[in-house]
Amino acid sequence: MSEEKLSQPKLPPTSALDNPSSPEFENWFEYPVRVQPHQTDYAGVVWHGSYIAWMEEARIECLRSIGIEFADLVAIGCDLPVVELSVRYHRSIKLGMAVLVKTRMAEVTGVRINWDYAIVSTDGQQLYASAKVTLVALDSERGKIMRQLPASVKDALAKISALNKN
């Protein structure tokens, strides 16, 4: 039995996002979070789904910071649903801890918008989770993917892209 435990497969090494102090983490939008009781399990460890909620909150606030209100997108009939999500959990976060959810738009290809995330300690020394999310522009009235992003959204996303390159 103890030999079985020793030979269990291990996770492969993580990507470049392992070092939150690297230059890769410059020019990201930062969204502070303090862990609340309802975001944890019975042991006080953050439930895995809470990370996803924090990422969405950070993305919405990032868009707001450049002038895109999500409510305005809804009003013009443009929704941005998540169509792809991958999360890597590096370390657990516990009740009462403060962390930063860092996000940036990685790439826009047609109507697909790719975002990167890193959830790190407030001093930037610990990486708790890294993720990638892909959104797609959807015409909410017709329920179909748009052929192109609305001009106002395109312009605002160009601002984010310019910020990420500086």
Which residues are catalytically annotated?
41
Residue 82 corresponds to which amino acid? V
Nearest alpha-carbon partner for 55 in 36, 82, 25: 82
Nearest alpha-carbon partner for 106 in 15, 14, 16, 24: 24
| CB distance 131 to 67 below 8 Å | no
Nearest alpha-carbon partner for 120 in 13, 20, 18: 20
Measured CA to CA, the distance from residue 152 to residue 86 in angstroms comes to 28
| CB distance 108 to 156 below 8 Å | no
Residue 43 in tokens: 């042991």
